[in-house]
Amino acid sequence: MEIDELLTKRPVLVTGGAGFIGSHLVDALMRSEVEVHVLDNLSSGNLENIKPWLKHPKFKFMRGDLLNPADVIKAVKGVGAVFHLAANPEVRLSSISPEVHFEQNLLATYNLLESIRKESGIEYVVFTSSSTVYGDASKIPTPEDYSPLEPISVYGASKLASESLICAYAHNYGFNAIIYRLANVIGTRSRHGVIYDFVRKIRENPQKLEILGDGTQSKSYLYVDDCIEGIILGYRSQRARLEVYNLGSSDWVSVATIARIVVEEMGLKDVSLQFTGGVEGGRGWKGDVKYMLLDTKKIRSLGWRPKLNSVEAVRKTVREILRESQ
């Protein structure tokens, strides 16, 4: 995977670089001999994810919080590009603790942008947004220019608001921005989401598996390695001040199918699948987008193709979670 000259002439900052997707991005950048700085408060990230690089001369880890402006100012010093992946990823928190997503997603992004504005020399900001910004889209697959954008969770709203801030700062303060609206990214090191939850529940009770919703919820799942390749390719191919890309597989899979794959991979047969029925037409929880499939023609036009479809990504992830938790 080639990395262009900009990423090798100055250090790169990865916020949330000890987390799930962030640590995989760090791996790709470090293997390409980029100097990488990571800012992470370790609330959901883990130093084990970046352990191979902790003593590397081109790697620097800073334990700090985007809600602390002093930490952010220190982190952006001297870097040429910022990959902003830090966020609270638990969508379900939206209906219980909306302040968490406001603070850890939106306010954190504002603090980062303010520090970037004050630090000269930062040319690129890359942001991982979410498919949840589309809400219950009436057009599926959903393209980047779909409107109106009506997120139905505070998580989705915080991501969309962050996109807007990044757009405004890019146009006003002279840096380039790339926004990725991600499908459900899964794979090794993941410690949240439906697959992880199913494995945990079955280990607690091998006789039954509670499934939130009616089981027909269907979404696109993207393996993390394919996600990282898309992020870097989009960065290297940027043509405009602001670019927005959907990143996801070209198919989707239902929650019920995921449950059956988990049961099968765990070598079990008589597990009773118990659907809660959910809320508002079978959603898993209030604010859960029931159907999500992204139109990825734009990123595919650059030559990107995911190696795994949704079912293959799910099956591989189940095996990795089982192996990692042995």
User: How far does Cα 62 stand from its chain's mean position?
Assistant: 21
Select which of 124, 134, 155, 180 is catalytic. 155
Return the HEC string of the chain.
CCCCHHHHHCCEEEECCCCHHHHHHHHHHHHCCCCEEEEECCCCCCHHHHHHHCCCCCEEEEECCCCCHHHHHHHHCCCCEEEECCCCCCHHHHHCCHHHHHHHHHHHHHHHHHHHHHCCCCCEEEEEEEHHHHECCCCCCECCCCCCCECCCHHHHHHHHHHHHHHHHHHHHCCEEEEEEECEEECCCCCCCHHHHHHHHHHHCCCEEEECCCCCCEECEEEHHHHHHHHHHHHHCCCCCEEEEEECCCCCEEHHHHHHHHHHHCCCCCCEEEECCCECCCECCCCCCCEECECCHHHHCCCCCCCCCHHHHHHHHHHHHHHHCC
State yes or no: is 155 an active-site residue: yes
**Residues with active-site annotation:** 155
